[in-house]
Structure 1
Amino acid sequence: MGIYTKEISNISDKSSEQLFQFAVSDDHQAEETAYSNYSYWQSTWKSFLKNRVAVFLLALVLIIVFFTLLQPYLPGQKSPTEIYLDEQTGSQARNIAPGSEFWFGTNSIGQDLWSRIWAGTRTSLLIGFVVALVEVVVGIAIGAMWGFSRKLEAPITQVYYIVENIPTTIVLILMSYILRPSISTIIIAMCITGWVEMARFIRNQIVILRDREYNLASKCLGTPSYRIILKNLLPYLISIIMLRMSLAIPFAIGSEVFLTYIGLGLPVSEPSLGNLINEGRVLMMSPDLRYQLFFPSIVLSVITIAFYIIGNAFADAADPKNHV
C-alpha cells in the first residue's frame, strides 16, 4: 500500500510540473489589451465618406473656395473694378458676350464678369463664414447657459422673446440705414438676430439632457458646471451644431442677396453675388444679356445647395446615436 501511494505521488508531481507553470506578468501587454483605438471623429469621417454625393459636393466646394482665393494671383486675370475700353472704338466695352478675351463677358459699363464673379464669391463667402462662426459661438454660449442654469433661464427667455419678435428684415434695414453700407455693416446686422435659433436649439436639447443620472452624479461629486456642459452635454449636440452652422452660411449669403435686391446691400463698387445677381436681374428680359444673370446665379446655387447637403450628411454622420 505504501509503495502504491508513493508511485501516485510521484506521478502527480510530474503532472504538476508539466501542466502547471507560473505565469509571467507583462504590464505593457496588459495595457495594450485594455486599449481601444476607437475615435469618434474617425468614425464620423468614415460614416460621412459613405455618402458619395456629399463627398463630391465637399470636394467641389473646397475647389471653389481654393480657386476663389487663388484667382487674383493667376496670370492673365483682369481687375474686377476696372472699366475696359474697346480698342477699335475707344468707348466702354459694354455687354460683350462671353469669348476668348472676356470669358464670362462684360457688364453694362465694361467690367469683366469673370473676375467680378469670383471677387463677389470671395465677398459672399467671407460674410457667410463670419456670420456662421459668430452665430455658433454666441448661440452655443447663450443656449448652454439658458438651458443649464435655472437662475439665468428667466432673464434669457425675456431677451429671447424680445429679439425673436423683431423681424430680421427690419433689423437688416435699420442697420443699413444707421451705418454706412459695407461688409462689416451686413455682418453686424445678421449677427444681431442670427444667434437666436441656435441658442433655442441648444437650450431645448440641454434641458432634456441636464437631469440625467450621470449629470446628477457629476454635480454631487462637485464637478464645475462648465465641465459638465463641455464634457457631458455638448458632445451629444455636435450633429445639431454642424447642421446649423452649415445652414447659416447659405442663409447669410441669401440675406446679402436680399438686401442688395431692396437696395440696402453693399455698394456697387464692392463686387458680391448679390450685386451681380441684381445687375443681371435688370437685364433678364433681353435674351442676349441673360448670361449676366445666369453665371452668378449658377455659382450661388451650387454653393447653397452644396452646403445644405454637406451639412445634413455630416450631421447624420456625427450623430452619437449612429456610433457604437
Structure 2
Amino acid sequence: MVKNNLENSDIEEIDKSLFEFAKYDSKKAELIGYSNYSYWKSTLNVFTKNKVAVFLLVVVVFLLLFTVVQPYLPNQHSPIKINIDEKTGLQLRNLPPSAEYWFGTNSIGQDLWSRIWSGTRTSLFIGLTVGFIELIIGIFIGSIWGYVRKFDPIITEIYNVITNVPTTIILILIAYIMKPGIITIIVAMSVTRWTNMARFVRNLVIIIRDREYNLASRCLGTPLSRIATKNLLPYLVSVIMLRLALAIPLAIGSEVFLTYIGIGLPVDVPSLGNLINEGRVFMMVPSLRYQLLFPTAVLSIITISFYVMGNAFGDASDPKNHL
C-alpha cells in the first residue's frame, strides 16, 4: 500500500509540460530514409585510391588517343610505304632508330614507328571488340543458363560440344573458310570465347538465384528480364569487369598466336602479331633486335595495364570495400 502511494506521488511530481501527444501527419508518413550512398560513386572513389591502377589507366587512354591522332601528326610516314633512298634508289632496309625513323625500318624499308602505332590500333580494336562481344553474349547466355532450369540441359550440351573441340582447330577452320582479315579474326575468336564467360556467370547465378528476394520477386510475378538486371547482375559487376579486363589482352595475345602459326591477319595489315612475328626472325641478331623489342614492349604495357586495372576495378566494385 505504501509502495502504491509513493508511485502515485512520483507521478504527480512529473512536469506534464514536458510531454505532448504526437499528431499524425500524412505528409511526414510518406517520407522515407535518405542516404547519399551511390554505388558507382563509391566504386570510383575506391578505384582512384589505387594510384598504380589510375596511372596505368592514363597510360592506356593515352595509347588509345595517340593511335588515333598519330597518322595526322607532322612528318609521319605511311605504315605500308616502302621507303627508298633517293640517291641510290635502294630500299632503306633495317635502318637503326634515328631522327628520321624513330624506331628504325624493317627488312623491306617500312617505318617501324608508324607500323607499331598502326598495329597497336588494329590489335586494340580487335581486343576491345572481342572482349565486348564475349561480355554481351556470355552474360546473356550465362544468365539464362543459370536461372531458367529448363534451358540448362540444352545449353550444357552446346557448351560441351564447343569446349570439347580444341579451340585452335575451330580458329583454323574459320580462318580457312572466311577471307583473311580483321572481321575473320574477330569472328573466329568470338565463336569460342563466350563459353568461359557464360559458364562463369551461370555458376554465380545458380548461387544467388534461390535467395529470398529472388523467390519473392518470382512470387510477385516480376518479369525475368527485371530480375536479371535488378537482382542478379548487380552482384556480378565486380567479377564481370575483372573478366572483361582480362579478356581484352587475351584476345590481343590470341591474335599474336594466330599470326605466329600463319593464319592471322595478312602481312600487309600492320598488327602487333604481325610485327612480333616479323621481329622474332632477328631475335638472335643484336643489331636488329629492336624490331622485336619495340612491338613486344607495347604489347607488354597493354597486357599488364589491363590486368592491373581489372583487378583494381574488381576490388573497387565489390560493395564490401565501400565505406
TM-score of the two chains, using structure 2 as the length reference:
0.91
Check if 1:205 corresponds to 2:218: no
CA distance in 2, matches of 1:257, 1:59: 25
In the alignment, the residues of structure 2 paired with residue 218 and residue 19 of structure 1 have an alpha-carbon distance, to the nearest angstrom, of 44
Q: Deviations over 1:53-96 (max 9, x none)?
A: 11111111111111111111111111000011113312111011
* Matching residue of 1:144: 143
- For 1:310 and 1:292, locate their aligned partners in 2 and report how far apart those are by CA, in whole Å: 28
- 2:176 maps to which residue? 177
| TM-fit CA distance, 1:36 | 1.5
1:48-197 correspondence runs (5 A): 48-197=47-196
Equivalent-residue separation in structure 1 for 2:234 and 2:126 (angstroms): 27
State how far apart, in whole Å, the 2-side matches of 1:152 and 1:320 are.
Answer: 31
Q: Distance in 2 between matches of 1:222 and 1:23?
A: 38
Distance 1:101 1:180 in 2: 36
Give, in whole Å, the separation in 2 of the partners of 1:278 and 1:147.
Answer: 41
Specify the alignment match of 1:285 in structure 2: 284
- 2:239 pairs with 1:240: yes
Taking only aligned residues, the RMSD between alpha carbons, in angstroms, comes to 2.2
1: CA distance, partners of 2:198 / 2:133: 12
CA distance in structure 2 between the partners assigned to 1:145 and 1:19 by the alignment? 59
The residue aligned with 2:4 is none
Q: What is the percent sequence identity of the aligned residues?
A: 63
Q: Distance in 1 between matches of 2:118 and 2:305?
A: 20
Query: Where does structure 1 differ by over 4 angstroms across 4 or more consecutive aligned residues?
Result: 18-28
Q: Against the structure 1 CA distance between its residues 159 and 24, is the aligned structure 2 distance closer, same or farther, given a 3 Å change threshold?
A: closer
Q: How many residues align?
A: 309
1:193 offset after TM fit, Å? 0.4
Q: Any stretches of 5+ residues in structure 2 without a counterpart?
A: 1-12
Residue 308 of structure 1 and its aligned partner are, at CA, apart by: 0.6
Runs of at least 5 residues in structure 1 that lack an aligned partner in the other structure: 1-11
> Which whole-Å CA distance do the structure 2 matches of 1:176 and 1:157 have between them?
26
**Offset of residue 22 of structure 1:** 9.8
Aligned-residue offset at 1:34: 3.1
Amino acid corresponding to residue 78 of structure 1 in structure 2: H
Whole-angstrom CA distance in 2 between matches of 1:89 and 1:230: 67
- Corresponding letter in the other structure for 1:113: L
1:218 aligns to what? 217
